[in-house]
Amino acid sequence: MSRKPVAFLVVGIIVAVALVIAISTGASLFLGKSPVAASGKVAVIKIDGIILSSEDVIHQLKKYSGNPSVKAIVLRINSPGGAVVPSQEIYEEINKVRAKTGKKIIVSMGTVAASGGYYIASAADRILANPGTLTGSIGVIMEFASVEQLLKKIGIKDQTIASGKRKDVGDFMRTMTPDEKEYLKNVLRDVHEQFVEAVAKGRKMKVEDVWALADGSVYTGRQAQKLGLVDGLGDLQDAISVAGKMAGIKGRPAVITEEKKTSIWDLIKGQDASSLFQGLIGKNLQGMMYLYAAPEIR
């Protein structure tokens, strides 16, 4: 075989390989993927609306913590808080994941991440908020309605029989006595202390410093940073970038998330419908709440 055919063959192979690489790179860019392979993935878990259950979030935390390709987790919180126990359960699961796997968990705060939303956030390795995020609201709330006066007007009398003097505390058929109000205040104080202690532990702050901020006040993201409640300012993409760097991922990390189908129930319990939800069922039916009852701001 002469040298010319061999040379043409070698050149042809080089051109073919170059074309394959070019096409692959172009396809990657077209699909929105970086041609530089990342050394790991960042999982994004979304916490939206009023928190009434911990099941879905804990399921995702367990799933991603057991996935070796996931090097870090970002919690995107856009919630005014919710029931006490689900908030505490998610907080504890975050601590378990961090302790068992060493994976970094970063919080990205959306429009609001207050009360139970902040309770959860305080367990993370790092918290990023937008400058205008509403956060904080470290406190507990329990609301009761009374229709006693209405019943009197229409001639209906309550005849509840209870096994003890406090068994029917909060019954909407009658007004609470001063003694019952003080009794419930003592219960709330203990749950409030649990909130403060959790924040102090998660944020590595002195308990007395957290108490100074724990009167239910909300803060903007910028204010919260100055107070030590968040670590920095940034959006979701910033949080993903921080998570990748903290996890030692080289290049832009691949992002995975679990998309949920929105049901009517999701819309009812969502943040935009929170006031409607609270008015329809009453917060007392859900027990004590780590909840920021946000007014509508226009």
Catalytically annotated residues: 115, 167
Contacting residues for 171 by C-beta, under 8 A, at least 6 apart: 158, 160
CA distance 176 to 173: 10
- For residue 127, count other CB atoms closer than 10 A to its CB: 27
Cα separation, 181 vs 242, in Å, equals 46
Q: Report the C-alpha gap between 169 and 180 in whole angstroms.
A: 7
Closest by CA to 211, choosing from 195, 191, 188, is 195
Q: Cα angle at 70 between 65 and 75, to 5 degrees?
A: 70
CA distances 240 to 193, 248, 253, Å, are 32, 12, 8
Nearest to 213 by CA among 195, 187, 237, 235: 195
Residue 94 near residue 48, CB atoms below 8 Å = no
Query: Which parts of the chain are beta strand (E)?
Result: 41-48, 70-79, 81-83, 104-114, 126-129, 134-136, 218-220, 232-233, 254-257, 289-291
Q: How far apart are the first and last CA of the chain?
A: 82
SS3 (DSSP) at 128: strand
